[in-house]
Amino acid sequence: MDHGQHINGSDCSKAFNDHSTMDHGQHINGLDCSKAFNDHSTMDHGQHINGSDCSKGFNDHSTMDHGQHINGSDCSKAFNDHSTMDHGQHISGSDCSKAFNDHSTMDHGQHINGSDCSKAFKDHSTMDHGQHINGSDCSKGFNDHSTMDHGQHINGSYCSKAFNDHSTMDHGQHINGSDCSKAFNETPLSYSKLPSLTADQLFSL
């Protein structure tokens, strides 16, 4: 998956490397996250993201957990299983406790950075970020599983080619100016799962 050209004014043309060894590239918000994730079943954000300790970022592919803090919020239960991923309680001060539902119909919930993204993703091969992420129109978020496209804009940057294929995901060089050249490593973890939601339940909110 390739984030395209720009995210927050940085060059992220190489978004991810492969599915089990995903590399965030070089930088994320000025913090060194060179050990951000481990393998596809045990992804770990490393030590710090935005000054918070997220050393236990994700556990396995069906129970991904962001760890303790992201942007000063407690997101220790970020994701549950692969078909019902939930961002936890807060991301950037917004309530995203219902972030994702199932693997083929993932929904970011209600708000991400003050924008209404209740229809964030649709199915696994055509995932759509909804209407707005940080004030940009991303109604066409992803296309298919091997060529996911963030649509037109993310934080005012043109990212029409957001992701490439499922096994070659690399964040490229820069995301908000931080060093995350080693985004993922490989060590299994385990976290309890959050309650799952069906697509119908989520979209009825």
- Could you list the pLDDT tens digit for every one of the 205 residues in the chain? 233 333 333 333 333 322 222 233 333 333 333 333 322 222 233 333 333 333 333 322 222 233 333 333 333 333 322 222 233 333 333 333 333 322 222 233 333 333 333 333 332 222 233 333 333 333 333 322 222 233 333 333 333 333 322 222 233 323 333 333 333 322 223 223 334 444 555 445 4
Number of structural domains, the chain?
1
Kindly report the pTM of this predicted structure. Answer: 0.12
Residue 191 falls inside a structural domain: no
Alpha helices (runs of H) in 28-165, residue ranges in sequence order: none
Residue 9 falls inside a structural domain: no
Residue 164 falls inside a structural domain: yes
Phi/psi at 201 (5° precision) = -65, -45
- Residue 171 lies in domain: 14-181
d(CA 161, CA 170): 13
User: What pLDDT was estimated at residue 137?
Assistant: 35
Residue 114 falls inside a structural domain: yes
User: What pLDDT was estimated at residue 200?
Assistant: 54
Among residues 104, 72, 64, the alpha carbon closest in space to that of 90 is found at 72
Residue 189 falls inside a structural domain: no
Secondary structure class of 78 (helix, strand, coil): coil
Exposure b/e, 33-54, CB count within 10 A at least 16 = b: bbbbbbbbbbbbbbbbbbebeb
Residue with tokens 């490439």: 164
Residue 150 falls inside a structural domain: yes
Residue 194 falls inside a structural domain: no
| Segment (H or E) for 116 | strand 115-116
d(CA 139, CA 171): 21
Residue 200 falls inside a structural domain: no
